[in-house]
């Protein structure tokens, strides 16, 4: 082969070799922090003067390689809702997290945190026990991502609380 045809063939071979050396192309397009609630659990108890609720869950914060920079994430309020998220069962869920928030999520990384919730010495109304045990629930909350410069919502998959009849 001579002329323009051999030049194109050589360019194709060199291009294919360069792609092979570059490795796989990273297709992670997460440019804002993606927050996921993992392994939610909870126990509800019917007390004489009300209802107690305690539980825990994991928080995974992921930021892809194409993000403009690191992000600082702050958690907002969390609540318990019914499975289809049409009714809020517990409007304000006190949280303790480790590590504490805000946290910095570096570019191309995932940061994991653990959270526990409980009412402490306070009790929910007596009727809350039946509402919480009526079916699956979800944990729903808000977070602020410094790259997004807005508040976003995260929700767990539906799960059943322990302690229900």
Residue 146, domain member (yes or no): yes
Checking DSSP bridges between strand 103-105 and strand 34-46, what pairing results, if any?
Answer: unpaired
Token pair recorded at residue 113? 């945190």
Residue 61, domain member (yes or no): yes
Please tell me the predicted confidence (pLDDT) of residue 28.
Answer: 60
Residue 11, domain member (yes or no): no
Residue 165, domain member (yes or no): no
Helix (H) or strand (E) holding 115: strand 109-118
Q: Which residues pair with 90 in a beta bridge?
A: 80
Residue 5, domain member (yes or no): no
For the chain, 165 residues long, give each residue's pLDDT as a single digit of tens.
Answer: 555 555 444 443 444 444 444 445 556 667 899 999 999 999 999 999 999 999 999 999 999 999 999 999 999 999 999 999 999 999 999 999 999 999 999 999 999 999 999 988 899 999 999 999 999 999 999 999 999 989 999 999 999 999 999
d(CA 63, CA 29): 9
Residue 16, domain member (yes or no): no
Domain of residue 99 covers 28-155
Predicted TM-score of the model (pTM):
0.81
Domain containing 60 — which CATH number?
A: 2.60.40
d(CA 119, CA 106): 33
Please tell me the predicted confidence (pLDDT) of residue 94.
Answer: 94
Token pair recorded at residue 122? 């306070």
SS3 content of the chain, % helix, strand, coil (to 5): 15, 45, 40
Residue 12, domain member (yes or no): no
Residue 67, domain member (yes or no): yes
d(CA 150, CA 138): 23
Please tell me the predicted confidence (pLDDT) of residue 8.
Answer: 44
Nearest to 150 by CA among 71, 60, 90: 71
> Domain total for the chain?
1
């Amino acid at each position: 082969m001579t002329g323009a045809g051999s030049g194109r063939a050589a360019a194709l071979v060199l291009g294919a070799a360069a792609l092979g050396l570059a490795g796989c192309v990273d297709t992670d397009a997460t440019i804002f922090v993606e927050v996921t609630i993992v392994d939610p659990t909870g126990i509800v108890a019917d007390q004489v003067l009300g209802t107690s609720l305690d539980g825990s869950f994991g928080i995974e914060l992921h930021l892809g390689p194409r993000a403009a920079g690191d992000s600082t994430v702050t958690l907002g309020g969390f609540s318990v809702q019914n499975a289809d998220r049409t009714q809020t069962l517990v409007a304000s869920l006190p949280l303790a997290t480790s590590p504490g928030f805000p946290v910095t999520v570096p570019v191309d990384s995932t940061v994991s945190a653990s959270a526990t919730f409980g009412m402490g010495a306070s009790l929910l109304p007596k009727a809350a026990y039946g509402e919480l045990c009526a079916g699956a629930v979800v944990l729903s909350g808000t977070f602020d991502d410094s790259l997004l410069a807005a508040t976003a919502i995260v929700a767990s998959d539906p799960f059943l609380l322990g302690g229900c009849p």
